[in-house]
Each structure stands twice: as C-alpha cells, then as structure tokens.
Amino acid sequence: MKLKHSLFTRRQFLNGLLGGWLTALVGSFLYPIIRFVFPPYKEPDKVVLPFSDFKDMASNSVRIFSWGSKPGLLKRNDDGSFQVFVGVCTHLDCNVTYLPEQRKFFCACHDGWYDENGINIGGPPPSPLRRLIVVLEEENLVIKKEGVE
C-alpha cells in the first residue's frame, strides 16, 4: 500500500529520531542511577542464637534480638515453648513492646494493641505481627523466615 502523502516531513523525522534516541540514551543512564539509589534490602534468611542465653527465660516474657535491622521478639510461652515475631508494628513501622501483666503487645505511636499471639486486637494496626519460625537445633535457637529450609 503506497501512501499519496508522507505521514511526516523529513525535518519531523530527523527531529523525532534525534529526540527519541537521545531520550533512550539518557534513559539508559538512569537505570544504573536508580539501582544505585535503591540498594537491595537484605533481610537475613536465618539468625542463630545460643540457647544457653535464653534457656532461663521466665515464661510470659520477651527478649529482643536483631533480625537484620529490625527488632525480633523472642517470647517464651507459659508451656515453655517459644514464639518469635518481627517486633515492628504493621501500622506505620514503629517498634512494639510486650506488656506481660496485660499479655498484650503495645505500639505507643498510635495506641495499637496485639494479643499474646501477635493478633491485632485494637487500634490502627491492620494485620497481625509477622511471625518467624523458631527451632531448637543442638545448642542453638535457629530463627527462620517462614518457608526457608
């Protein structure tokens, strides 16, 4: 199919090619800049803690450990077993604390409440505290993300 008239003039073609290719070149410069400015966030796959530090924990108490750059909350239940949460409020990222007398986790920023299993029960938090898996391997407590071997 041959057109009777050109869709655009030679000047428009040249201008378009120049502008378009220049934009593509500048765009290719942007990719490394974006990768540089947003470094990959590395969350640990697992954290290993010596069991000896925690075997004397009282029940209904919580100890803090480092989960990457977030606080991890290791809670000893009444039956002696352990539960681990990522101690970051699901509302706006403040660190939560455990109130043993009330058996609740509390976020002071906006009055958020979680029960002793991390389920959100009051205030703005939209979802429960994130859980991690804890297993006892030899002399160590190994804390893992859910789904990691």
Partner 1 sequence: MMRRKLFTLTLLAIVFTFYWVDYGITQEVVPEKQKQETQVEKKTEKIIPSSKNIKEKTGIYVFLGWMWLSIFVLIYILRQKIKEVDRLFLLKFFSSEKK
Partner 2 sequence: MRIKNINIGIQAWFDERIGLQSITKFLRGKKVPQHKHSIWYYTGSSILLFFSISVLTGFMLVFYYKPTLEKANESIGRIMTEVPLGWIMRSIHSWSASFMIAFVFVHLISIWLTKAHRKPRELTWMSGVFLLVVSLALGFTGYLLPWDDLSVSATKVGTDIPRSIPVVGCWVTKLLRGGEDVTADTLTRFFGFHVSILPLFILILIGLHVYFIQKQGISIPLGLERKEERVKKLPFWPNFVYREMVVWLLLLGILFTLSIFFPPSLDKAADLMAPAPEGIKPEWYFLFLFQVLKVFPSKVLFINGDTLAIILMLFFGIFFFFLPLIDNRPAEKKGKIITFIAYAFIFFAIVMTVWSLM
Chain contacts with partner 1 (rule: CB under 8 A): 11, 14-15, 17-18, 21-22, 24-25, 28, 32
Buried b (16+ CB within 10 A) or exposed e, 57-84: eeeeebeebebeeebbbbbbeeeeebbb
Question: What is the dihedral sign for C-alpha 99, 102, 108, 110?
Answer: positive
What long-range pairs does 29-37 form, CB within 8 A, spacing at least 24? none
Check residue 27 for interaction with partner 2 (CB under 8 A).
Answer: no
35 binds partner 2 (CB under 8 A): yes
Q: Indicate whether 21 belongs to the interface with partner 2 (CB under 8 A).
A: no
Residue 14 binds: one of partner 2, partner 1, none (C-beta under 5 to 8 A by kind): partner 1
Contacting residue, 30, 37, 138, 149, with partner 2 by CB under 8 A: 37
Stated as kind and residue range, the H or E segment containing 12 is helix 10-37
69 binds, among partner 2, partner 1, none (CB under 5 to 8 A by kind): none
* Binding positions for partner 2, rule: CB under 8 A: 8, 12, 16, 32-33, 35-37, 39-40
